[in-house]
Amino acid sequence: ISAAPDQPTLEVKLEALQCHFTWDLNFSTPKLFSLRDRLQDIGTEEGYSWLGHIYNLQGYVHFRLGLPGDAQRFFGKAAEAFRQIRNTVSDEGAWLVVNHGNLAWLHYHNGEQAESQAHLLRVNALMRTYPSPSQDELHPEIYAERAWTLMNFGADKKSSAADFFQRALRMQPDVVEWHTSHVLALVSTSRKELGADILDKMRIATEHDPDNLYLAALYLEARGKKGNRIGEEARELARRVLRKPVSSYSGIEPLLRLYRMYVSMDEAIDLAEEVLERHPDERYLKRCAAFCYKSRILSDSDSPLERSIIVRAITLSKEVIPLYPHSSLKRKMDLANIYAKTNNQEKADQIYEELLESGLDPEGAQILYNYYAKYLHFSRNETKKSIEYHMRAAEIPIPSHYREHSIKTLQRIRERNRNPMCGRISKFLAILPESE
């Protein structure tokens, strides 16, 4: 008599789930801290349609950071947010499949197999009760959550995010926020100038989702790049943004960017200060204001800098750094560059020297070497040393635009063939490894 086939083990069943633990969401620890900061800056006051997804991702990030207690707390908040936002007769729906999958994995990693099995059974029950409208595809709620999650994991994931949103919309075309997010994903995958087709999609999305001021700001910015005069529309949009709760979803960051590009740098600073005056304790707004001042100081404007601008830029930058303790590398380098631009070379050198001695991981070191190479060239006029640090950034085989910039800089120097190090650069580029 043949033996009965082995039942799948618990881990095999968990691997088959659709949740954050099975979606190949690989980030280094520094990027996880940065993502945690971004999720916190979204805020929770308005009852966003994505609030359950935000908490689910926060739970996964905290798990990856070695904080299982915080992970369970956020997964619990996600379930509650879904129940409140969906406002349906039943407290349950397909939107809880990912949440229960996350909890099944979390309990499994905690060694709590009975609890893990219980959440696995809840997933199976939900999928039976709320089947996908299409037999060969996942439920649109699962596609939408996976798409939204991938939007937070780098440019290389945005194309997949757009595809998943499209799949969700084919089955459930009446969800406005999915349409909006699909357009945002398409915009973020277009590195070059936006084509007429995407601009048209943005226009339609803004008409169907008029309260999404983040999208409105991006659409206005895209029209500005096409040569449209958008100053008055930007000011009107600013009045609407000022009435919104504080959030990185409110549209303030892209609005400030288009102010700097198409209105004026001074008006951008005034707007940032007005928002910050209304909410003086919000770290996200303080970061936005600090960025405006940094942009004003580091711009190539011929107009002289007022002492008050310099002092405010330095003060804000110093205040922002401890507010983001685990993702402060770029902010420290921004402060160094402000010092360099405002004739305080000694303090700029001190910041860079401390960073170079701080023992960063390869990803952080690559960013630092690229920044430092530019600093050496533009602020210290030390060409040879600048080239050496571009080499150090390039030889770290982590794909990033910092590595690409350093490689392109070295290639330009080699092609001009005027620098004594051209021979060394050629040999270096010839044996440079590909990105991992």
pLDDT at 2 over 50: no
Which range, of 2-6, 16-20, 215-219, 269-273, averages the lowest pLDDT? Answer: 2-6
Q: What is the mean pLDDT of the chain?
A: 93
Q: How sure is the predictor about 194, in pLDDT bands with cuts at 50, 70 and 90?
A: confident
Could you report the per-residue pLDDT of 207-246, keeping only the tens digit for each? Answer: 999 999 999 999 999 999 999 999 999 999 999 999 988 8
Instruction: Specify the CATH number of the domain 10-131.
Output: 1.25.40.10
Q: What is the pLDDT of residue 4?
A: 40
Quote the pLDDT of residue 403.
96
Per-residue pLDDT tens over the stretch 105-158: 999 999 999 999 999 999 999 999 999 999 899 999 999 999 999 999 987 899
Is pTM beyond 0.95? Reply is no
Q: How many alpha carbons lie under 13 Å from residue 311 in its C-beta half-sphere?
A: 3
Instruction: Answer whether residue 278 shows pLDDT above 80.
Output: yes
- pLDDT above 70 as % of the chain: 95
Positions of CATH 1.25.40.10 in the chain: 10-131
Residue 183's pLDDT is what?
96
Q: Lowest mean pLDDT of 1-15, 38-52, 60-74, 301-315, name the range.
A: 1-15
Percentage of the residues of the chain whose pLDDT score is greater than 90: 85
The answer, yes or no, to whether residue 407 has pLDDT greater than 90, is yes
The C-alpha atoms of residue 389 and residue 373 are separated, in whole angstroms, by 5
pLDDT at 90: 67
Residues 6+ apart with CB under 8 A from 143: 137, 164, 165, 167, 168
What would the pLDDT profile of 97-120 be if each residue is shown by its tens digit?
Answer: 999 999 999 999 999 999 999 999
Poorest-pLDDT segment among 86-90, 262-266, 399-403, 408-412: 86-90
Confidence label for 91 from pLDDT (cuts 50, 70 and 90): confident
Burial group, residue 22, by CB count within 10 angstroms (0-12, 13-18, 19+): middle
